[in-house]
Amino acid sequence: MRPLRRCLFVASMAVLLHAGCTASERVSAADDERRYTTWSSYLGTPDSAQYSALTQIDKSNVHQLELAWTYPAGEATFTRFGPLVVDRTMYVLTGSRSIVALDAVTGKEIWTRRNEGRVGDRGISYWESADRSDRRLFYINEGMLTAIDARSGNVILSFGRNGQVDLRGGLTRDTTNMPPLQTGNPGRVFENLIIVSLPSQGGLKYRSNPGDVRAYDTRTGELKWTFHSVPAPGEVGADTWPASALPDGSGVHNWSESTLDERRGIIYIPFGTARFDFYGGNRHGDNLFGNSLVALDARTGKRLWHFQAIHHDVWDYDLPAAPKLLTIRKDGRDIDVVAQPTKHGFVFVFDRVSGAPVWPIEERPVPQTDAPGEQTSKTQPFPTAPPPFARQSFTERDINPYLPEDEQRALREQLRQSRNEGLFTPPSLRGSIMMPGWNGGGNWGSSAVNPGKGTMFIVSKEIPTYVKLIHPREATGAASDGPGRPSNVGEDFVAFHAPYQWMLSESTGLPAIAPPWSTLTAYDLNKGTILWQVPNGEVAGVPSRTGTPTGSQAPRGAPVATAGGLLFVATSSDRKLRAYDQDNGKVLWQYALPAASEGVPAIYEVDGRQYVAIPVGGAGFMPVKMPGQAPPGPNQYMVFTLPNRK
């Protein structure tokens, strides 16, 4: 057994203290429901539930939803910024890189804050003092953590240096030529801290910065604590890297989103892949805390426990989706759990405090590398429950029957000539088939929960990918620069290159695999079972062998569950906003959007009326040309509500 391989949790004094106060900190169900009636945090609430306790819009009347107002968002392509709503003010991002405050009832503009350079395009964070006299918005602008007044849009000059903190500050590495550390992850606010994760630049590079997690004082910008995602020498996990790699170990970043248990003061961080994404000859070992869910004390940054979902990742199977907090009923008792969806189609479920798996997790043998200089892990973790939500293999019988026959023949030959041994087939010089692939399974914003019922809903994407390692001397054109060389290796090290490649039809753009290409899966985590699974969306003009929809080809699906029994999900390729029935997955209402939407809907209430807001714009992350589909309409925020019967 390798060091820390089975160290799923650490029973430190901090954990014991947290566990000891669980009962006394538990709040009533009514208090929990009140917590979910606002949308003042990214994904709705700090626990990333993507859940609303509002019930005005329900299964009986959702078909009456109508457009209340829209707000134009400029020319730049955007589809994914999640609006925040505080009291009756909505905060959005426009294509001109402006943060804008709107009246949440009418859409009327209150103020605009123009920014130069890139702005985190998925969300922002809101903080207020105990007496609400000080209210601030935090976001990342050209690698600078920026604070502005939530009521005026003016910069908070007392924060950092003239309202900003450079995220490169404090790194132990040379930052002379390091670009701004820009990220779309808005971070999390806890008490008087804004907790952010440093992005790591470029998945196709060997050298970058590590993705440390940091907490800054919300008033002053002072750095309060740092957690090293690549351990420093002597820290826990350092022995899972070569000693020579620690000074330059990179990647392992929380580029996506994180989750807070506010009552316990625990923040859960899902980390990404160590660099480079598809070859690790420079980083033999398991590479903690890569591909790990790490529970940290939100006040100090101290590690409480961790679980590594992928050892020595060479598939780019980072953990992009926020872990979800909910309470389940198992073996006659309530358990507060954290559930982590993954790109490779699994959901890992743990006791929220101790990190103990709710169902056994088995280390099983997996295919081994044949790439020169590489050493892959002999085993990988497999949860015994719940079952996977995505397909994890691609064989000849799975080839898309709607492709031209010559392309089907070519695919059969490619499958025969490539390494294709199911889940965890490693990259190779021959070329390797990966399913659900580095862009598949669950991604950011892709899951929601009904926290009191113990149910979880996941939108997944299923497009096989192909990875072929290329020797630097064989690279041509844009690939000739390759991923560079790590500094911790000898002259005999081969810096293999491997581009990102989807397996798509050249003539139609459709996936090589048969539909469905996106599904919506409902789990009962009380039992560890799937309640139902349905295709999510469709590709117009493509029939289905079963008569059911094909599933949208490339959504970064973002469901939101409600106490009214609904799931709101927007898709990109077919440009639809749908309301599903939580009990069975039936579509109860849908609305044709003028363009794609890949952001997380926001659900809020003002003056007794409930609203649903979504960002709309562009053709989506992975555009699909659908028969008869018009070019995308203007970028905008669209807000829906029930008719005003008054």
Count of residues making up the chain: 646
Read off the pLDDT of each residue in 111-137 and give the average, rounded to a whole number.
Answer: 96
- Residue 240 — pLDDT band, cuts 50, 70, 90? very high
- pLDDT value of position 646: 61
- pLDDT value of position 626: 66
Q: 3-class SS at 34?
A: helix
Contacts of 226 (CB under 8 A, 6+ apart): 170, 212, 213, 214, 215, 301
Judged against a pLDDT cut of 80, whether residue 143 lies above it is answered with yes
Q: Where are the domains of the chain?
A: 13-24+33-641
- pLDDT value of position 546: 61
Read off the pLDDT of each residue in 585-589 and give the average, rounded to a whole number.
Answer: 98
Judged against a pLDDT cut of 80, whether residue 77 lies above it is answered with no
Residues 126, 190: Cα–Cα separation, whole Å: 10
Q: Nearest to residue 500, comparing CAs of 478, 516, 484?
A: 478
Highest mean pLDDT of the ranges 72-81, 104-113, 163-172:
104-113
Structural tokens at position 77: 């392509």
- Residue 262 — pLDDT band, cuts 50, 70, 90? very high
Give a three-class secondary structure readout of 256-303: CCCEEECCCCEEEEECCCECCCCCCCCCCCCCCCCCEEEEEECCCCCE
Structural tokens at position 379: 């085993």
pLDDT digit string, tens, across residues 146-193: 999 999 999 999 999 999 999 999 888 888 888 899 999 999 999 999
pLDDT digit string, tens, across residues 394-439: 999 999 999 999 999 999 999 999 999 999 999 999 999 999 999 8
Residues 87, 43: Cα–Cα separation, whole Å: 17
- How many angstroms separate the Cα of 14 from the Cα of each of 46, 264, 265, 297, 354? 21, 11, 11, 8, 10
Residue 381 bridge partners (DSSP): 363
Structural tokens at position 88: 């009756």
- pLDDT value of position 257: 96
- Residue 491 — pLDDT band, cuts 50, 70, 90? confident
- What is the percent of the chain with per-residue pLDDT over 90, rounded to a whole number? 77
- pLDDT value of position 571: 84
Question: How wide is the angle at C-alpha 623 spanned by C-alphas 498 and 39, nearest 5°?
Answer: 100
Judged against a pLDDT cut of 80, whether residue 540 lies above it is answered with no
Read off the pLDDT of each residue in 330-352 and give the average, rounded to a whole number.
Answer: 97
- Residue 17 — pLDDT band, cuts 50, 70, 90? very low
Structural tokens at position 266: 């625990």
- pLDDT value of position 623: 65
Judged against a pLDDT cut of 50, whether residue 101 lies above it is answered with yes
202 Cα distance to chain centroid: 17
pTM: predicted TM-score of the whole model, two decimal places: 0.94
Residues 496, 255: Cα–Cα separation, whole Å: 24
- pLDDT value of position 75: 80
Type of residue found at 349: V
Decide if 164 contacts 144 (C-beta within 8 A). Answer: yes
- pLDDT value of position 341: 98
**Helices then strands, each counted (H, E), the chain:** 4, 36
- Residue 317 — pLDDT band, cuts 50, 70, 90? very high
Q: Nearest to residue 84, comparing CAs of 127, 143, 142?
A: 127
What are the backbone angles phi and psi of residue 617, rounded to the nearest 5°? Answer: 165, 145
Q: Nearest to residue 399, comparing CAs of 390, 408, 410?
A: 408
Can you spell out the DSSP letters for 90-144? Answer: EEEE-TTSEEEEEETTT--EEEEEE-SS-B-SS--EEEE-TTSS-EEEEEEETTE
CA atoms within 13 A on the CB side of 497: 17
- pLDDT value of position 33: 65
Read off the pLDDT of each residue in 603-627 and give the average, rounded to a whole number.
Answer: 86
Read off the pLDDT of each residue in 592-605 and give the average, rounded to a whole number.
Answer: 94
Average pLDDT score over the chain: 90
Judged against a pLDDT cut of 50, whether residue 478 lies above it is answered with no
- pLDDT value of position 443: 93
Residues 473, 494: Cα–Cα separation, whole Å: 10
Judged against a pLDDT cut of 70, whether residue 9 lies above it is answered with no
What are the backbone angles phi and psi of residue 35, rounded to the nearest 5°? Answer: -60, -30
Decide if 550 contacts 535 (C-beta within 8 A). Answer: yes
Q: 3-class SS at 24?
A: helix
- What is the percent of the chain with per-residue pLDDT over 70, rounded to a whole number? 90
pLDDT digit string, tens, across residues 23-68: 334 445 556 667 899 999 999 999 999 999 999 999 999 999 999 9
- Residue 4 — pLDDT band, cuts 50, 70, 90? very low
CB atoms within 10 A of CB 112: 13
Judged against a pLDDT cut of 60, whether residue 295 lies above it is answered with yes
Judged against a pLDDT cut of 90, whether residue 554 lies above it is answered with no
- pLDDT value of position 2: 38
Q: Nearest to residue 265, comparing CAs of 47, 48, 454, 36?
A: 47
Q: What's domain 13-24+33-641's architecture?
A: 8 Propeller (2.140)
Which value, in Å, is the radius of gyration of the alpha carbons in the chain?
Answer: 24
- Residue 482 — pLDDT band, cuts 50, 70, 90? low
Query: Is the Cα torsion angle 383, 384, 385, 386 positive or negative in sign?
Result: positive
Peptide linkage before 307 cis (omega within 30 of 0): no
Please tell me what DSSP assigns to residue 632. Answer: P
